[in-house]
Amino acid sequence: MANEQGTSGMKQPVSRASFGNRIGVIAVAAGSAIGLGNIWKFPYITGENGGAAFIIVYLACITVIGLPVLMSEFIIGRRGQRNVIGSYLSLSTKRSPWAFGGFIALFGSATILSFYAVVAGWSLEYIVKAATNSFAGKSPDEVGAMFGSFMSSPVKPIFWQLVFMSLTAGVICAGVKRGIEAFSKIMMPVLLFIILLLCVRSLTLPGSEAGVAFLFKPDFSKLTAAGVLTALGHAFFTLSIGAGTMITYGSYIKKKDNLGSIAVQVAFADTVIALLAGLAIFPAVFAFGVEPGAGPGLVFVTLPNIFAQMPGGFFFCIIFFILIAVAALTSSISMLEVGVAYVSEDLGIGRTKATLLLTFLISVVGIFCSLSFGPLKEYTFFGKNIFDLADFAVSNISLPFGGLAAVLFVAWSLGKDKVKDELSSGGVFFVNYITLFMFTAKYLTPIGIGIVFLHSLKVF
């Protein structure tokens, strides 16, 4: 385990905020990583791609691509001691072209938040729907129709999206330590508790074994090339990399903390929660004979149906949607913080003003994303509505590009000596993995990212 000794030569600049203890750092970074990606997206893409074999590929992607990028982002942030763009600049030259990687990341985090808040808003509505017993006595088709009419209506989803954005802004305004860290430290254990409770419920249903087999017994004949690429892309989204979040958070990590071990623990925690989400969902899906490949509606349509037929389902349905909302909130704050740190540090606007300004701009874009399921359905670009276009532009272009910039910068521009100095906190920790890290970051990770990227652009 890391030792907690400080290194005398490395002082934190007095003016910059930092996270408190190690537990705080892990809670905050894992809080960012664990979100809709784990509880909403991971189960449905696993369902669509045949289960266990897909999960094995996903785990490989997390290790070979995700972890090196995550470590690179932490290194840039902590060594640069600035926001996402400032950190690149302070580690190279003024006007360095690497800063472009920072701009891509900034664009990415703001754009993700605009549509992420829409889906998170749906979960708030579903807490209310569950608490008022709205799914009782409805057929699966009726529950599906209910979701369809809710998400396409012009007012309600926007109301909840704005409520969610306000909650995000509230935490950010409270600051790095009293807001982000305090909130994540309380909420992450709550989340773990809720998800374990759901796992127990799901695994004790008669017929749940088929769901466990689906998750853990690989059938490679079900794996497609598209599935492999989906797994690669999801590794970025789920670890919050490629959009400046982990650079910004890295800049708040104290010099004495062991970056390598924090990165491993965050990736591990994120993976465990994704698997637990699978264990909470698939045994129930199979126990009730539901189609596992139901797509994005899996948690909003399929699960309320399952809960409605399950003993104690009323109660479990409410806590399930609370779980989603909480997980989304500890992630959304990490997206907003990227822009707030940049605007407040480099454009000389106070933190509160910066938060309000960005919340306003991102909410406006989000309103268009939300309306693109209803009144603005007709407005499509390249065959995609506004929501899908924002999702595509970020998940398939901006994240891989932002991640590529981070890993290339660390491996080729910063170089082995500085990387070793940073990973060892100035010689305190033993970094026996440095050669492996440099080799992976120089070659394997960029090649892996290149493959995803070319696929997104439909080159393959």
Phi/psi at 403 (5° precision): -70, -40
* Residue 173 phi, psi (nearest 5): -60, -35
Q: What is the DSSP string of 98-117?
A: THHHHHHHHHHHHHHHHHHH
If phi > 0 it is left, if psi is from -120 to 50 it is alpha, else beta; for residue 66 that is alpha
CA distance 460 to 430: 42
Q: Which of 237, 286, 321, 387 binds ligand TRP (CB under 6 A)?
A: 237
- Choosing from 180, 194, 198, 243, the residue that interacts with ligand TRP (CB under 6 A) is 243
Q: How far is the CB of 112 from ligand TRP (least distance, A)?
A: 5
Q: In the complex with ligand TRP, which residue's Cβ is closer, 33 or 91?
A: 33
Q: Does 37 bind ligand TRP (CB under 6 A)?
A: yes
Quote the least distance from Cβ 456 to ligand TRP, whole Å.
15
Q: How far apart are the C-alpha atoms of 52 and 50, rounded to whole Å?
A: 7
Stretch that binds ligand TRP, among 241-249, 256-264, 302-310, 405-413 (CB under 6 A): 241-249
**What sign for the dihedral angle of Cα 326, 330, 331, 333?**
positive
Among 25, 26, 30, 32, binds ligand TRP (CB under 6 A): 32
Per rule CB under 6 A, is residue 248 in the interface with ligand TRP? Answer: no
200 to each of 246, 382, 395, how far by Cα in Å?
33, 44, 33
In angstroms, the CA 243 to CA 286 distance is 36
In degrees, rounded to 5, the angle at the alpha carbon of residue 235 between the alpha carbons of residues 233 and 238 is 110
Sole window of 30-38, 132-140, 308-316, 410-418 interacting with ligand TRP (rule: CB under 6 A): 30-38
Q: Please give the residues from 316 up to 355 whose contact with ligand TRP meets the rule CB under 6 A.
A: 331, 334-335
Query: Quick one: which segment of 147-155, 236-244, 259-267, 432-440 binds ligand TRP (CB under 6 A)?
Result: 236-244
Find all residues with CB under 8 Å of 244, minimum gap 6, and list them: 73, 84, 102, 105, 106, 108, 109, 338, 402
Spatial separation of the C-alpha atoms in residues 324 and 26, rounded to whole Å: 20
Residue among 49, 230, 240, 385 that touches ligand TRP (CB under 6 A): 240
456 touching ligand TRP, by CB under 6 A: no
By CB under 6 A, the residues from 174 to 213 that bind ligand TRP are none
Q: Which of residues 390-409 bind ligand TRP (CB under 6 A)?
A: 399
Closest distance of CB 145 from ligand TRP, Å = 27
| Span of 90-98, 184-192, 213-221, 238-246 interacting with ligand TRP by CB under 6 A | 238-246
**Shortest distance, CB of residue 329 to ligand TRP, whole angstroms?**
11
Q: How far is it, in rounded angstroms, from Cα 450 to Cα 456? A: 10
Residue in the structure block whose two tokens are 């009782």: 136
Calpha distance 62→218 (Å, rounded): 18
Q: Which stretch binds ligand TRP (CB under 6 A): 50-58, 68-76, 223-231, 240-248?
A: 240-248
Residue nearest to ligand TRP (CB): 37
Binding site for ligand TRP (CB under 6 A): 32-33, 35-38, 109, 112, 237-238, 240, 242-243, 245, 331, 334-335, 399
